[in-house]
C-alpha cells in the first residue's frame, strides 16, 4: 500500500527541487548493518532500510467494537472526508485532488476495510507522499527555516505539528505568521567514534549556503508551515505549537481527538498479536509489559470486557497512560500496576511451600474505588477514620484473614496514603514494589511484549544507537 512515487503540481526549479526533498539515508551501526546485509542480502536490506526511513502511506485503525461497529466508524470517517472537514479534523488527508471532485468516491478510496479474516475490526486510512515542495522563495531572499529534532520529525511525518520542545534551530527574525521550511537534523558520524547531531538548541540559521549544516539538510526537508510564534518565543516558552504545518512531504491523518474511545491507532502486527493470544470472556490474562496499553485494550475488547486483564509496566507514568486509555475506551476489566515484570512471577518452590502453586492467589490486591479500602504496604487495609484500630488482612494465603491491631501512627500514615492518591509506587491502589509475584498457573494466558528495537515503527530516521541491541528486559 505504500507509495513513494513523487507527486508534484508543477516542475520546480532544479535547485529548489533538490533542496526541498525528502530522501534520508538510514544510518546503522556498521556491525549491525553487516549482520543484516548477510542475513537479507545487500539489495534486499537496502530496500528494507529505505522503506524504514519513510512513513507508511496508510494508517491502521482498530475499532473499539464494544462502543461502535466497524461499519459505523467507517461511515463516520467517510462523513468527515465528504464534509471536507478532514483538513481541520483529520489533519492532512487529501480529498479533492484524488478523484476529480466526486466526494463520495474520494472518501471510499481513502478508507478501506481490512480484507483479512478475523480482522474485521480494522480499517485502513490512506495517506499520500512523498510530495515535492516548492518554497517559492525569491532569488534575493533568504529562506526562513526551522530545524527540528529527529523524534519531532518522525512525528511530523506521521501527521503531527511541530511543538516547541522539538525545535533545535531557527532563522533569525522569524515572526509569528512567517512561512518557514522545516527540516530535520539527524545524527552524523563523528571523528572520534559514534554519532552526534551537531546542532545546539537555539542555533541561528542564516538560510545561506555558508550556514553550518546547510548541506546536511539537503534531502531532509519534511514540509513547510506557518510559524505559530516568533523565534524568541520558540526558545523561551516550554510548550505549545511552534509551527503549524501547511505542506508536508507525507500527508497522513493524525486522528488527534477524532472519535476518542471509539478508535485506536495501532499497527497491524499489534492487532494480530492480541488475536493470536485468543483471549476468552471471563479469563484472567497477564500483560507483562503493557504500556501504553494498545494490546491490553485489544485483549480486553476481545474478552468483551468480561474477566480480568492485569497490565504491568515498570514506569509509573506509563501505567497512568494505560489507565487513561482503558477509561477512554470504557474498559473496566483492566487492572494496571507499576511492577517490574521480572518480579511478577513467584518462584514455584516458594509458592508450593505456601500451598499456593495451583490456586489463583493474588500478588497484588484488586484496586478499589472505596476510599476506606485500599492496599497499603502489601496489605489490604480497612480503615474507620474515627476508630483507633485497623483490621489488616494480608494478601497472601498464609496470613489470609489473620488480624492484628496497628498503632494510631501507622493508621494515620495509611490514611494519608489513601487520601493523597496512589503515589509513584502505588498505582491503582496496589503497592507492588514489595510484591513477591503472581503464583504459577494463576493466569489463563500471558502476553510478554518485551521492549525491542522498535524498528518496526516507521519512519525511523536513525538506527545507530547501540542500546537498541543490548537492551535488557
Interface characters, 249-288, with ligand SAM (x: CB under 6 A): ---------------------x------------------
* Residue whose CB is less far from ligand SAM, 83 or 424: 424
Strands (E), 198-287: 203-205, 221-227, 241-248, 263-265, 284-287
- Part in contact with ligand SAM (CB under 6 A); list of ranges 107-115, 215-223, 335-343, 429-437: 335-343
For the bound state, the minimum distance from the C-beta of residue 1 to ligand SAM, rounded and expressed in Å, comes to 22
With 0-12 / 13-18 / 19 or more C-beta atoms within 10 angstroms meaning exposed / middle / buried, residue 276 is exposed
Interatomic CA distance for residues 458 and 448, integer angstroms: 22
For the bound state, the minimum distance from the C-beta of residue 135 to ligand SAM, rounded and expressed in Å, comes to 38
* Residue whose CB is less far from ligand SAM, 229 or 310: 310
Interatomic CA distance for residues 319 and 296, integer angstroms: 12
Q: Which of 33, 50, 340, 444 binds ligand SAM (CB under 6 A)?
A: 340
Q: What order do you get walking across the sheet with 111-113 strand by strand? A: 111-113, 122-126, 58-63, 263-265
Are 62 and 121 spatial neighbours (Cβ–Cβ below 8 Å)?
yes
Q: Which of 1, 18, 96, 473 binds ligand SAM (CB under 6 A)?
A: 473
- Residue of 76, 223, 243 lying closest to 135 (CA atoms): 223
* Residue whose CB is less far from ligand SAM, 237 or 473: 473
Contact flag: residue 437 with ligand SAM (CB under 6 A)? no
263-265 vs 308-313, strand pairing mode: unpaired
* Residue whose CB is less far from ligand SAM, 13 or 452: 452
- Binding to ligand SAM (CB under 6 A) within 302-331 occurs at 312-315, 318
Residues within the annotated binding site for S-adenosyl-L-methionine? 289-295, 313, 340, 449
State the number of binding residues for ligand SAM (CB under 6 A): 20
Can you say whether the dihedral through the CA atoms of 191, 197, 200, 203 is positive or negative?
A: positive
- Residue of 382, 392, 404, 394 lying closest to 356 (CA atoms): 394
Q: Which of 92, 294, 430, 437 binds ligand SAM (CB under 6 A)?
A: 294
Q: Which of 451, 455, 456, 469 binds ligand SAM (CB under 6 A)?
A: 451
Q: Which of 292, 307, 377, 440 binds ligand SAM (CB under 6 A)?
A: 292
SS (H, E, C) 90-133: CCCCCCCCCCCCCHHHHHHHHEEECCCCCCCCEEEEECECCECC
Are 45 and 37 spatial neighbours (Cβ–Cβ below 8 Å)?
yes
For the bound state, the minimum distance from the C-beta of residue 313 to ligand SAM, rounded and expressed in Å, comes to 5
DSSP state of 11: P
Q: Which of 233, 449, 457, 465 binds ligand SAM (CB under 6 A)?
A: 449
* Residue whose CB is less far from ligand SAM, 242 or 311: 311
Give whole-number Cα distances, 360 to 55, 283, 300, 430, in Å: 44, 12, 20, 17
For the bound state, the minimum distance from the C-beta of residue 187 to ligand SAM, rounded and expressed in Å, comes to 23
* Residue whose CB is less far from ligand SAM, 254 or 297: 297
Are 117 and 45 spatial neighbours (Cβ–Cβ below 8 Å)?
no
Residues within the annotated binding site? 289-295, 313, 340, 449
- Part in contact with ligand SAM (CB under 6 A); list of ranges 177-185, 199-207, 289-297, 434-442: 289-297
Q: Which of 251, 295, 431, 460 binds ligand SAM (CB under 6 A)?
A: 295
Interaction site with ligand SAM (CB under 6 A): 270, 289-295, 312-315, 318, 340-342, 449, 451-452, 473
Amino acid at each position: 500500500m505504500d507509495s513513494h512515487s513523487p507527486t508534484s503540481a508543477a516542475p520546480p526549479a532544479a535547485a529548489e527541487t533538490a533542496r526541498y526533498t525528502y530522501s534520508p539515508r538510514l544510518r546503522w551501526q556498521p556491525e549491525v548493518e553487516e549482520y543484516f546485509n548477510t542475513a537479507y542480502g545487500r539489495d534486499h536490506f537496502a530496500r528494507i532500510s529505505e522503506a524504514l526511513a519513510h512513513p507508511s502511506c496508510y494508517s491502521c485503525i482498530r475499532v473499539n467494537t464494544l462502543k461502535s461497529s466497524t461499519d459505523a466508524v467507517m461511515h463516520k470517517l467517510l462523513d468527515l472526508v465528504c464534509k471536507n472537514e478532514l483538513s481541520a479534523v483529520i489533519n492532512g488527508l487529501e480529498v479533492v485532488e484524488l478523484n476529480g471532485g466526486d466526494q463520495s468516491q474520494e472518501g471510499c478510496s481513502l478508507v478501506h476495510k481490512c480484507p483479512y479474516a478475523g480482522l474485521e475490526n480494522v480499517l485502513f486510512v490512506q495517506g499520500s507522499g512523498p510530495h515535492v515542495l516548492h518554497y517559492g522563495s525569491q532569488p534575493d531572499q533568504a529562506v526562513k527555516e526551522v530545524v527540528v529534532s529527529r523524534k519531532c520529525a518522525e512525528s511530523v511525518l506521521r501527521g503531527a505539528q511541530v511543538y516547541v520542545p522539538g525545535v533545535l534551530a531557527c532563522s533569525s527574525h522569524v515572526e509569528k505568521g512567517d512561512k518557514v521550511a522545516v527540516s530535520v537534523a539527524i545524527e552524523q558520524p563523528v571523528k572520534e567514534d559514534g554519532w552526534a547531531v551537531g546542532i545546539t538548541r537555539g542555533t541561528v540559521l542564516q538560510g545561506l549556503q555558508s550556514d553550518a549544516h546547510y548541506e546536511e539538510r539537503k534531502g531532509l526537508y519534511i514540509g513547510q508551515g506557518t510559524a505559530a510564534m516568533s523565534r524568541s518565543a520558540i526558545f523561551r516558552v516550554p510548550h505549545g505549537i511552534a509551527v503549524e504545518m501547511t505542506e508536508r512531504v507525507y500527508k497522513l491523518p493524525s486522528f488527534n481527538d477524532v472519535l476518542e474511545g471509539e478508535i485506536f491507532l495501532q499497527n497491524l502486527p499489534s492487532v494480530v498479536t492480541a488475536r493470536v493470544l485468543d483471549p476468552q470472556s471471563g479469563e484472567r490474562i497477564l500483560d507483562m509489559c503493557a504500556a501504553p496499553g494498545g494490546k491490553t485494550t485489544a485483549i480486553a475488547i476481545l474478552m468483551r470486557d468480561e474477566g480480568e486483564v492485569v497490565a504491568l509496566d515498570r514506569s509509573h507514568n506509563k501505567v497512568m497512560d494505560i489507565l487513561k486509555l482503558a477509561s477512554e475506551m470504557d474498559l473496566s476489566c483492566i487492572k494496571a500496576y507499576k511492577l517490574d515484570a521480572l518480579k511478577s512471577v513467584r518462584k514455584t518452590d516458594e509458592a508450593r511451600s505456601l500451598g499456593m502453586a495451583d490456586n489463583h492467589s493474588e500478588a497484588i490486591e484488586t484496586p478499589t474505588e472505596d476510599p476506606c479500602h485500599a492496599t497499603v504496604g502489601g496489605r489490604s487495609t480497612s480503615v474507620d477514620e474515627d476508630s483507633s484500630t485497623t483490621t489488616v488482612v494480608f494478601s497472601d494465603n498464609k496470613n489470609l484473614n489473620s488480624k492484628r491491631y496497628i498503632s494510631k501512627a501507622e493508621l494515620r500514615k495509611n490514611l494519608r496514603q489513601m487520601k493523597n492518591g496512589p503515589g509513584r509506587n502505588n498505582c491503582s491502589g496496589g503497592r507492588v514494589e514489595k510484591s513477591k509475584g503472581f503464583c504459577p498457573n494463576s493466569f489463563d494466558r500471558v502476553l510478554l511484549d518485551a521492549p525491542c528495537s522498535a524498528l518496526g515503527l516507521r519512519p525511523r530516521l536513525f538506527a545507530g544507537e547501540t542500546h537498541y541491541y543490548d537492551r535488557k528486559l
